[in-house]
Amino acid sequence: MSRKGNCLDNAPMESFFHLFKVESQPEIKKCKSISQFTQFFNKYVNWYNNDRISNKTKNMSPVDYRTHV
C-alpha cells in the first residue's frame, strides 16, 4: 500500500500489470481455472524477469544486460 499522499509508490506494479493485461489478453481468456491462470502467470513473470527485451536494457533481455555490464 502506498504511503499517504504518495501515489507514485505503486507506479512500477501498475506498469507491470498493465503490460501483463495488454500482452497476454488472448492467453488469459484461454484459462479455464485458477490453477491454469496461476501457472500461466508464473510463466509470464519468469519470462518478464529473464527473457523480455526492453528499451531500458538496450534491446537486450535482463539476463543478457546483466552479463553485458
Q: Is residue 61 part of a domain?
A: yes
Long-range CB contacts for residues 10-19, cutoff 8 Å, separation at least 24: 16/48, 19/48
Distance CA 28, CA 68 (A): 34
Q: Is residue 5 part of a domain?
A: no
Q: Is residue 3 part of a domain?
A: no
Number of domains in the chain: 1
Q: Is residue 24 part of a domain?
A: yes
Structural domain of residue 59, as residue ranges?
10-68
Closest CA to 33 of 41, 43, 25: 41
Q: Is residue 1 part of a domain?
A: no
Predicted confidence (pLDDT) per residue in 3-59, tens digit? 666 677 788 888 899 999 999 999 999 999 999 999 999 999 999 988 888 888 889
Given pLDDT bands bounded at 50, 70 and 90, which one contains residue 2? low
Closest CA to 44 of 16, 69, 63: 16
Q: Is residue 2 part of a domain?
A: no
